[in-house]
Amino acid sequence: MKILVIGAGNMGLTYASAIAKSGQRNKEELMMFDKSDELRETLRKGDHNFEVYDTLEESMPLADIVFIAVKPYHIEELMGCMKPLMNDQQLVISIMAGVTIETLQQGLGIKKIVRAMPNLPAQVGKGMTSYLAAPEISRIELWMVEELLNCTGKSVRVDSQMFIDASTGISGSGPAYVFYFMESMMQAAKSMGFSDNDGKVLVSATFEGAIELFKKNKLTPDGWMKRVASKGGTTQAALDSLQDNNVKQLIHDAAYAAFNRAIELGKYEEKEEKIETVHEIKKV
Ligand SMILES: NC(=O)c1ccc[n+]([C@@H]2O[C@H](COP(=O)([O-])OP(=O)(O)OC[C@H]3O[C@@H](n4cnc5c(N)ncnc54)[C@H](OP(=O)(O)O)[C@@H]3O)[C@@H](O)[C@H]2O)c1
């Protein structure tokens, strides 16, 4: 089973490298195409375990599974080039934000589409991907898709577009919430007199330690908070301050803001407004 990855940017390269590293495909079974001549030349000079192809005409007919990893505003043009080369046995996995299964089915003239929503830690093999599969995809194909997506971390299958949008609010945008919290703690460390470097070490080691504890035990986050805090102690003072400032509600609202934004972007697409418009809105 051959795989073609279209778009050798951050995510395309992440997937191609992760699939190659997993040993699921050998070099001849993993193909890469990017429209940039310069990038293809650079990739050929690098030490990659995939074949670089110069055209879709050469690579598409050989592929059983096609990964689309271009920006959403390039999809119209790309679908126009792909459609005449596709056959209905091919399966497409798209990781493009805001581009629905229906749009891809119409634009490519095939039914077997998977829409996946990864997040940035996929780049270090710790990604969280939610995915939605068209009903035409068989069980065995689903299993294969999951194996591929899991090369970059973990995945969860959802059964509606709404859950793709919801997972955007939790895991898709989530790494930024964690960085926000880290930055706030680093700023507090600085104002207490720590150097930038010491602040970074204090905060990153604290996050790593807390995550390890959480993973190794069945305690809930609330259970862990109770373990760290003692009545009248320092941690309780901090937790009381968070509670008084309604921080839990604010984080809840932030996740919903991302969720609602994902819904809005999807609606623009339904209205068949230009995909460039979606991109511009996303960048704000
Ligand atoms: N980055 C994330 O954390 C993340 C998370 C979830 C989903 N995604 C999705 O992942 C997708 C890719 O994002 P990215 O950050 O990897 O983008 P990127 O770095 O811009 O990579 C896309 C690559 O595809 C190339 N390309 C554009 N049109 C093409 C075509 N018709 N044929 C072949 N190659 C083409 C681009 O070339 P040019 O640069 O010359 O245009 C570029 O090299 C996006 O749709 C995004 O929504 C990203």
Residues 150 and 203 in one domain: no
Tell me what percent of the residues of the chain surpass a pLDDT of 70: 94
User: How far is residue 255's CA from residue 249's CA, in Å, rounded to a whole number?
Assistant: 10
Residue 275 domain flag: no
Residue located nearest, by CA, to atom 18 of ligand 1: 9
Residues 212 and 145 in one domain: no
Residues 16 and 136 in one domain: yes
Domain count, the chain: 2
Residue 89 domain flag: yes
Tell me if 5 sits within 8 A of 12, measured CB to CB.
yes
| Helix, strand, or coil (residue 264) | helix
CATH number for the domain that contains residue 182: 1.10.3730.10
**Torsion sign (Cα): 252, 258, 260, 263:** negative
Tens of pLDDT along 9-61? 999 999 999 999 999 989 999 999 999 999 999 999 998 999 999 999 999 99
Average pLDDT over residues 3-11: 97
Tell me if 53 sits within 8 A of 79, measured CB to CB.
no
Residues 20 and 146 in one domain: yes
Residues 192 and 141 in one domain: no
In this model, does residue 84 exceed pLDDT 80? Answer: yes
Residues 197 and 121 in one domain: no
Tens of pLDDT along 155-175? 999 999 999 999 999 999 999
Residue 253 C-alpha to ligand 1 middle, in angstroms? 29
CATH number for the domain that contains residue 119: 3.40.50.720
Tens of pLDDT along 124-152? 999 999 999 999 999 999 999 999 999 99
Q: Domain boundary residue among 134, 159, 184?
A: 159
User: How far is residue 239's CA from residue 79's CA, in Å, rounded to a whole number?
Assistant: 51
Residue 109 domain flag: yes
In this model, does residue 278 exceed pLDDT 70? Answer: no
In this model, does residue 280 exceed pLDDT 50? Answer: no
Ligand 1 atom nearest residue 98's Cα: 47
Tell me if 225 sits within 8 A of 239, measured CB to CB.
yes
Average pLDDT over residues 228-234: 95
Q: What is the pLDDT of residue 203?
A: 98
Residue 273 domain flag: no
Its domain, for residue 34, covers: 3-159
Residues 226 and 100 in one domain: no
Ligand 1 atom nearest residue 118's Cα: 6
Residues 66 and 90 in one domain: yes
Residue located nearest, by CA, to atom 48 of ligand 1: 11
Residue 264 domain flag: no
Residues 66 and 102 in one domain: yes
Phi/psi zone of residue 135: left (φ > 0), alpha (ψ -120 to 50 degrees), beta?
alpha
Residue 237 C-alpha to ligand 1 middle, in angstroms? 46
Is the entire prediction scored with pTM above 0.85? yes
Residues 75 and 116 in one domain: yes
Ligand 1 atom nearest residue 12's Cα: 16
Q: What is the pLDDT of residue 273?
A: 43
Label residue 254 by pLDDT band (50, 70, 90): very high
In this model, does residue 277 exceed pLDDT 80? Answer: no
Q: What is the pLDDT of residue 268?
A: 56
Residue 140 domain flag: yes
Pocket mutation for ligand 1, best pick of 10, 54, 71, 281 (most atoms within 8 Å of C-beta):
71
The bridge status of strand 113-117 relative to strand 127-133 is antiparallel
- Rounded to the nearest integer, the mean pLDDT of the chain is 92
Q: Using a 6 Å CB cutoff, which residues line ligand 1? A: 6-12, 33-36, 39, 69-72, 74, 77-78, 95-97, 117-120
Tokens linked to 53: 């192809």
Residue located nearest, by CA, to atom 17 of ligand 1: 9
Residue 115 domain flag: yes
